[in-house]
Amino acid sequence: MTEQMRDTADIIGRSDINDLEAILSVVNTDVDEERHAVKSVYDTIFTWDYEKGQRPKLDKLYEKAKRAQWNAQTDLPWETEVDQEKLVIANAVANGGFTEGVDVSGTSLERWGEKEWIQFGIEGQNWTLSQFMHGEQGALVCTAKIVESVPWIDAKYYAATQVMDEARHVEVFAKYLDDKLSGHYPINAHLRLLLDDIIADSRWDMTYLGMQIMVEGLALAAFGFMHQMTTEPLLKQMLRYIMSDEARHVAFGVLSLQEYYQQLSAAEIRERQEFAFEAAVRMRDRFLEQEVWSRMGVDPKEVAPLLLQIPDRQLFQSMVFAKIVPNCKKLGLLDAADGWLRERFTELGVIGFENLEDTGEEYDSFQATGSAEVA
């Protein structure tokens, strides 16, 4: 780390975190590629200390993960019929309509009727589930890296179960998109940049922080929000299963990093704060759905300011940080370096979640059964 601390422009490439033009200028130019390579150089660590249970909380998590495995092909009611158009309408009715709380007069959306809004809803479903699928593959790759690079046998054991979890999540999202919805979207450019950064970093704890705390923490909250909002029963049950897995994954990150961060210097902790801030901004930026608007023939720059006026969207964009902020606080990242990350999360409008229960404390409430009630 350099002696001079980096400012916001150095970290995220712009000084104003809400600069819509800068956010929308980040686009995926390789939409047709089937493979994407990221170079990474890191140590693969063997441990000859095989004593199981030296870290009792990690051992408990590992035992729970073994009991909680489920089969994506046989444990969900795939025979459920999903009419995507009816689903879009039902969700709109249940959640206040397509344009509730936003004035579209004077824009190209003013000419939209029910047909266009329904199609937008369909495209939005395809886009959202596609990004979840891509993110889960990122988690699959990152967790495999954790198995290689983490130095403790209890952590290697648990991470191996998460590799299986993530493979199942990729499988189940792909199957839902293929069998129940109507198309895939390429990975969002902001999400891809974040995954590239996480995978390319050589330090094993940065993989934990980027994936287990930030990406998986956001996913857990986003899945919970979607679970509440959707009226589709198969998706509800699918998300319930996935959320029970994700709670363990985030808890794994909290338990592992809490011990390790106590050994780091102030400069090293500041690096982790900056990484967490960059990850938070990249995850927030991707929710503008610019690929959907472009496919619908609308300039994203025209409608992006309108999106920020929609109450449900504002709620969603803040609620997805409901797991991240308390977990960062538990790890000591919020208030280190004179509260630098606290100030950044205040700018993002999400600091209000800091006193919610962290995932390390709440994971026992998640049960990986089809009938479980997930908060």
Q: What is the three-class DSSP state of 181? A: coil
> What is the spatial distance between Cα 111 and Cα 99, in angstroms, rounded to a whole number?
13
Tokens 């689903």 found at: 87
Predicted pLDDT at 337: 84
Predicted pLDDT at 30: 77
Structural domains of the chain, with CATH: 113-375 (1.20.1260)
Give the mean pLDDT of the chain. 89
Predicted pLDDT at 371: 37
Spell out, as residue ranges, where the chain has pLDDT lower than 70: 1-4, 96-101, 310-314, 359-375
> What is the spatial distance between Cα 188 and Cα 26, in angstroms, rounded to a whole number?
9
Rounded-to-10 torsion of CA 290, 295, 298, 300: 10
Predicted pLDDT at 372: 39
Predicted pLDDT at 373: 38
> What is the spatial distance between Cα 210 and Cα 250, in angstroms, rounded to a whole number?
11
Predicted pLDDT at 319: 79
Predicted pLDDT at 196: 95
Rounded-to-10 torsion of CA 309, 315, 316, 317: 70
